[in-house]
Structure 1
Amino acid sequence: MNEGRFPKLILFLTLLFLVGPFLVVFIAAFGAEPTLKFPPSGFSTQWFTKVFGVESFRTSFVTSLLLGLTATLLALGLGVPVAYALTRFRLPGAALIQTVLTSPALVPGLVVGLALLQYFVNVGGPVYTSLLVAHTALLIPYVVRVVTTSLMNLRPEIEEAAISLGASRLTAFRRVILPNIRGGVAAAAVLAFITSFDQVAVSLFLTGPGVSTLPISMLTFMEYNYDPTIAALSTLLIVFSIAFVLIFERLLGLSRYM
């Protein structure tokens, strides 16, 4: 009996370590005090109402939403063909290509943000375009990795059978490969969107006047305000993220690909 308690204790402490900060934020969001405090001495939902009254939160949420959706679509459009090429063809320097594709996810975000800032300063262009290009570059490694796993689990004989029956490689990819890896593509899309929506390090360098993502707006808000509004917004984002993932998990079974 005692031998079984130790693993359970470790499991409980690990879960407490992971979930504890979210519980603190959740409870603090309902505080009645004008300053962020845990545990709160009163109960109030006024801070959730204030979240929707802050204009910077509304505009930056729309920016993050559109940026995340657009960058995800672009990353899928680029990453899916790359994953297909890496798994179905013997490319010279395939290992180097995979290393280059993985590098944006391995290099610290601050380094990537500084490098992209220097690049876009020299090239020029609108702030939103810079953010879109940067987010797309960051998402491609995740798309390639997830879709590559799905393609490796798909027997190549299925595609070869379609080609032997007269289908072109493009037709076989469109009508045979894609329907069989749609779960992996959906998993890559969910992972890419959440990564873009929550991106801080790179966005911190590339945001500019009139264009800001929601995480950057939250950081700016905290510089001048220390009330439970930021905890209320964080709670809403946690609920949004969990619901988003659970819906797709229920529909497509994303845990098989992630």
Structure 2
Amino acid sequence: MSSRWASHIIIGLTLTFLIGPFFIIIAAGLSAGDFLAFPPEGLSLKWYLKVFEVESFRDSFALSMFLAVFGTIAALILGVPAAYALSRYKIPYGETIKTVVAAPIIVPGIIVGLALLRYLVVPLNFTITLALFLAHTALVLPYAVRVVSSSLNNLRSDMEEAAVLLGCSRIGAFFRVVLPNIQSGVLAAFILGFVTSFNQVPVSLFLSGPGVRTLPIDMLSYMEITYDPSVAALSALLALMSVLIVFVAEKFLGFSRYV
């Protein structure tokens, strides 16, 4: 009985450690006071409503959505063929290529951001938006390759070979047989890439500029001059959005099978 209670206590402490900050942020956003504080000074929804009134939040949210959606789509356009080639063919130095593809995950984001700033924005005179788009695509690409590769490894290759033997071209077999059977993995890769891109901070911090900032960077800048609970309210809304996306993905796609 003592061991059972000990396990319950450990689980409770673990959940408190993981979920506790989330509830603190929600409560801080509900404060009726003018400054960020916990426990909240009364309860009010005014700061949650103010989030939608701040113009910089609306602009940076639109930019973050653009980068997350189209950057992830670009990563999938590059990553799906790469995952297919690595899974179906014996490519020379295949393991080395996999390591190189995974580099944006392994290398700290600060280093990636500094490198992109130094070799894209400064010498090539790339616009900030284009540099951010390329950076977010590169950051999401490893997730696209790994998740789609996992889905391809679970698909029997003889299904594709049967389609080829029946007269279908290799490309036709991919679009008619392979892609429909790995669509859950592709959607899971899109969701993982979207969440990763939307919440990206280190790389975006280096590449953001005047008037062009992603939402997380805009929130950091906002807190430098204003310390009201609106940032806590926005953080709670973003956390709820991420949790909802992952919950829906797990419910309908079995998200945990791919990550």
Shorter-normalised TM range: over 0.9
Q: Shift of residue 255 of structure 1?
A: 2.5
Whether the 8 Å contact between 1:183 and 1:257 is mirrored in structure 2 is: no
Q: TM-score, with normalisation over the residues of structure 2?
A: 0.97
- Looking at structure 1, the residues matched to 10 and 251 of structure 2 have their Cα atoms a distance apart, in angstroms, of 29
TM-score by length of 1: 0.97
Deviations 1:168-216 (A, max 9, x none): 1111110100111111100000000010000000000001122110000
2-structure distance, mates of 1:137, 1:32: 42
Aligned residue pair count = 258
Three-state SS of the structure 1 residue aligned to 2:155 is coil
1:73-112 alignment to 2 at 5 Å? 73-112=73-112
| Deviations, residues 74-103 of structure 1 (Å, cap 9, x unaligned) | 000000000000000000010110010001
**Which residue does the alignment assign to 1:32?**
32
Structure 2 residue aligned with 1:214? 215
Secondary structure at the counterpart of residue 102 of structure 2: helix
Shift of 1:21: 0.7
Deviation at 1:250, TM superposition (A): 2.9
Partner of 1:15: 15
Give the Cα–Cα distance (whole angstroms) in 2 for the partners of residues 220 and 26 of structure 1: 21
In the alignment, what sits opposite 2:48? 48
Distance 2:143 2:198 in 1: 14
Offset at residue 164 of structure 1 (A): 1.2
Q: Equivalent residue for 1:149?
A: 150
Task: Give the AA of the match of 1:209.
Answer: P
Report the equivalent of 2:257: 256
In 2: Cα distance, 1:65 partner to 1:47 partner: 22
CA shift at 1:149, angstroms? 0.5
Superposed CA offset, 1:41-87 (max 9, x none): 31111101111111100000001001111101000000000000000
| Distance in 2, Cα, partners of 1:98 & 1:248 | 26
Counterparts of 1:3 and 1:210, CA distance in 2: 57
Match for residue 59 of structure 1?
Answer: 59
SS of corresponding position for 1:67: helix
How many angstroms apart in 2 are the aligned matches of 1:71 and 1:184? Answer: 18
Give the RMSD, CA atoms, in angstroms: 1.0
Show the counterpart of 1:184: 185
Distance in 2, Cα, partners of 1:160 & 1:6: 55
Q: Tell me the residue number matched to 1:68.
A: 68
| In 2: Cα distance, 1:125 partner to 1:113 partner | 14
1:131 aligns with 2:138: no
Find the residue that maps to 1:13 and give its secondary structure. Answer: helix
**Matches of 1:10 and 1:159, distance apart in 2:** 49
Say if 1:48 and 1:229, in contact at 8 Å, map to a contact too.
Answer: yes
Cα distance in 1 for residues equivalent to 2:70 and 2:160: 30
Secondary structure of 1:196's match?
A: helix
- 8 A contact 1:36–1:226 mirrored in 2: yes
Task: Give, in angstroms, the shift of residue 142 of structure 1.
Answer: 0.4
